[in-house]
Amino acid sequence: MLSFRNGDMMPALGLGTWKSRPGEVYDAIREAIKIGYRHFDCAFIYENEKEIGQALTDAISDGEVSRNDLWITSKLWCDVHARADVIPALKGTLADLKLEYLDLYLIHWPIAFQKGIKYPRIGSEFISLDDMPLEETWAGMEDAVNAGLTRHIGVSNFSIKKLKQISASATIKPEMDQVEMHPLLQQSKLVSFCHAEGIHVTAYSPLGSPDRHPSIKGKDEPSLLEHPVITKIAERNNCSTGQVLIQWAMARGTAVIPKSVNPGRLKQNFDAAGISLSDKDMADINAMDRHFRYLEGGIWTIEGSPYTKANLWDE
Ligand code: A2P
């Protein structure tokens, strides 16, 4: 469990829902709740919040779980970064999820688009951060807390530099940075900074997101689930490679949100919380770091976009 500033507790292991298709996500959520998952990671742009909302509502009305015991995160899309657009966007997500409040709402990317654009195809569909400062979006996020629509706010895909920038003028400091994180991209500096500042970190794509659409997959990507070091550690611990990857994230004090829609893998991933990795296991994994991003943000840096890999990641 990760403890928030007001004492709220977030289960460190959550279920990711990116790439979980309508038609399969309903059953996945119902199954996950039966297994014991209580933390669900959602986003407007995953285009499945309505179905997730139905599954949550049905599980609550069937008496399997109460709203109080759930931790629901969602994320603000990039076309509604203007302060006045944040609350209406959040209300839309709440209507889809059939909830009265979120536990955590995140700015999905430190990138802005023209309103109504889901994925820009030309440079002019982006708005630069000079024209849509992150501080303005953050003020909208604070409005959402003050309106009682979300209990906590945070960000996703933010660098240390951008966290410092929004924290400087914030009334409510960010409490979460959700970033890609796994043994090939350990981001130890970011984790240390966040933990020193009282900001939690959630590791997304902890298994390397092998089910990404081919258009956002690199050629000859390394596999985490079949990595020889991870395979060896899995053999030593008599568990699966997925479980090693999930437990490694938990052992570092981060939250982790592996996605699955398969009942067997949902259970296997949940049970990863019970595995304990030795110092040698951790050291072997720590030696794997090579700052490799599966999601390098190439779709945000097309010709004419004000965003570059350098100004997106600040590295
Ligand atoms: P599925 O949904 O069929 O289980 P990430 O969380 O890094 O985005 O990775 C999600 C991908 O990993 C999905 O393709 C998911 O498939 C697969 N997956 C989830 N859990 C496991 C596991 N324990 N072992 C192997 N593959 C897994």
CA of 162 to the centre of ligand 1 (A): 30
Structure tokens at 295: 């999601």
CA of 206 to the centre of ligand 1 (A): 9
Minimal CA–CA distance to 251: which of 198, 193, 206, 189? 206
Q: Per-residue pLDDT tens for 182-217?
A: 999 999 999 999 999 999 999 999 999 999 998 888
pLDDT for residue 134:
98
Instruction: Answer yes or no: are the C-beta atoms of 135 and 289 closer than 8 Å.
Output: no
**Tokens found for residue 259:** 């996605």
Ligand 1 atom 15, closest CA: 260
Determine if ligand 1 sits within 6 Å of the CB of residue 253: no
Number of the ligand 1 atom closest to the C-alpha atom of 260: 2
**Under 8 Å between Cβ of 193 and 163:** yes
* pLDDT confidence of residue 215: 86
17 lines ligand 1 (CB under 6 A): no
- Closest residue to atom 2 of ligand 1, CA basis: 260
Q: Quote the ligand 1 centre to 25 CA distance (angstroms).
A: 14
pLDDT of residue 218: 84
Q: Distance from CA of residue 46 to its chain's centroid? A: 12
Measure 191 CA to ligand 1 centroid, in angstroms: 24
Cα-based distances in Å from 56 to 40, 51, 83:
10, 9, 29
Q: What is the DSSP annotation of 264-310?
A: HHHHHHHHGGG----HHHHHHHHTT-----S---GGGS-TT-S--HH
Which region, left, alpha or beta, applies to residue 47 given φ > 0 means left and ψ of -120 to 50 means alpha?
Answer: left
Q: pLDDT digit string (tens) for 129-140?
A: 999 999 999 999
Give the C-alpha separation, 108 to 314, whole Å: 17
267-297 confidence digits (pLDDT tens): 999 999 999 999 999 999 999 999 999 999 9
pLDDT in tens, 217-270: 888 899 999 999 999 999 999 999 999 999 999 999 999 999 999 999 999 999
155 φ, ψ (degrees, to nearest 5):
-140, 170
Is the CB of 206 inside a 6 Å radius of any atom of ligand 1? yes
Percentage with pLDDT > 70 across the chain: 100
The model's confidence at residue 159, banded by pLDDT at 50, 70 and 90, is very high
Q: Which residue has the tokens 């919040």?
A: 49
DSSP E strand stretches across the chain: 2-3, 9-10, 15-16, 39-41, 71-76, 102-107, 112-113, 126-127, 150-156, 176-180, 200-204, 255-256
Question: For ligand 1, is residue 262 a contact (CB within 6 Å)?
Answer: yes
Give me the active site residues, please. 46
Q: Which ligand 1 atom sits closest to the C-alpha of 207?
A: 7
Give, using CA atoms, the residue closest to atom 9 of ligand 1.
209
Q: Which two tokens stand for residue 128?
A: 């630069």
| Residue 205, pLDDT score | 98
pLDDT-derived band at 121, boundaries 50, 70, 90: very high
Predicted confidence (pLDDT) at residue 22 exceeds the cutoff of 90: no
Instruction: State in Å: Cα 252 to ligand 1 middle.
Output: 21
Which residues, in sequence order, are CB contacts of 91 under 8 Å at separation 6+?
Answer: 149
Give the model confidence (pLDDT) of 294-307 as tens digits.
999 999 999 999 99
Predicted confidence (pLDDT) at residue 59 exceeds the cutoff of 90: yes
- The verdict on the CB of residue 120 being under 6 Å from ligand 1 is no
| Nearest atom in ligand 1 to 259's CA | 6
Residue 268, ligand 1, Cβ within 6 A: yes
Q: Is the CB of 223 under 6 A from ligand 1?
A: no
pLDDT of 228? 98
Instruction: Count the Cβ atoms, other than its own, within 10 Å of residue 177.
Output: 28
Hey, whose CA ends up nearest to atom 17 of ligand 1?
260
CA-to-CA distance for 297 and 185, rounded, in angstroms? 15
Torsion angle in degrees (nearest 10) through CA of 90, 95, 97, 99: 90
Q: What confidence tier does 52 reach under pLDDT thresholds 50, 70, 90?
A: very high
pLDDT in tens, 68-113: 999 999 999 999 999 999 999 999 999 999 999 999 999 999 999 9
